[in-house]
Structure 1
Amino acid sequence: MNELPLWLQWIVAALLVTGGVFALVGAIGMLRFRDFYMRLHAPTKATTLGVGGVLLASLAVSWWRGEFGVPELLITLFLFVTAPVSANLLAKAAMHLKVPSKAGEPPRSVRP
């Protein structure tokens, strides 16, 4: 019962790769976006989905082994509740401090 069947290995691998791709996109978004508000969007969306994919893979393995997967469920719940709340609080604090936004400006590569 320690070895996973091939179909479950493929599902776990797909979830891990998908989660890794989302996490990578979130990290690239943090580097590429121009201002605080845009950079705040990348980790709260993409990285949350990336960690969610990894946690689903871990949950699938623990269910196959006969465990309920309580730590994975608690981490998932905590992540999906706290990420949007913390992003909202950071955005409100930035608006209160009048952090400038570059949303209306053209991208750097188009500027003369």
Structure 2
Amino acid sequence: MTAIEWTIVILASVGTIFSFGAGLGIIRFPDVYSRLHATGKNATASVILIMSATFIYFLIEHNMFIGKILLTILFVFLTTPVAALLISRSAYRIGVPMDKSSVRDEMKPYYDNEKSSPAKNE
């Protein structure tokens, strides 16, 4: 095997491991916030690694430059973390409880001030 083929195999394998970790995080973590953290980080990394392996494979083996794969990498890199953040903030705002084993609630001071703001009540 050439160095390029090894690179493709390693990228795809590491991407698969990250994807497995994201699935495991969804199953094992106790609350929505932990699950979103696992999927936001691991799923983004796994898709980027697997798409990078795909892009390199088609570029080297078939001499095909496929820009859609690069756009997929870009859009996943930009949208998945933002979506995870917005879902977790929405869950916090509607009152989805944190797990009992959570040590600290760092968002509480920010949202307590928001609820007591007079401009919000008008």
**TM-score interval, smaller chain:** 0.7 to 0.9
Aligned positions of 1:31-50 closer than 5 A: 31-50=27-46
8 Å contact from structure 2 (residues 44, 81) kept in 1: no
> What displacement does 1:51 show?
1.1
8 Å contact from structure 2 (residues 26, 35) kept in 1: yes
CA distance in 2, matches of 1:66, 1:13: 18
| Higher RCO (CA < 8 A, seq sep 6+) | 1
**1:70 aligns to 2:63 (yes or no):** no
What is the RMSD computed on CA atoms of the aligned residues?
Answer: 1.5
Match of 1:58 in 2: 54
> If each structure's helix is expressed as a fraction of its own residues, which one has the higher value?
2
TM-score w.r.t. structure 1 length? 0.83
TM-score w.r.t. structure 2 length? 0.77
CA distance in 2, matches of 1:62, 1:23: 22
Percent identical among aligned pairs is 31
Match of 2:93 in 1: 96
Query: Quick one: which amino acid aligns to residue 104 of structure 1?
Result: V
> What displacement does 1:66 show?
2.4
Paired residue secondary structure (2:103): coil
Match of 1:80 in 2: 77
In the TM superposition, what whole-angstrom CA distance separates every residue of 1:2-51 from its partner, at most 9, and x where no partner exists?
xxx62221111111110000111111111111011001111110111111
CA distance in 2, matches of 1:92, 1:104: 18
CA distance in 2, matches of 1:78, 1:39: 21
CA distance in 1, matches of 2:93, 2:64: 46
Structure 1 unaligned segments of length 5 or more: list them.
Answer: 106-112
> What displacement does 1:96 show?
1.2
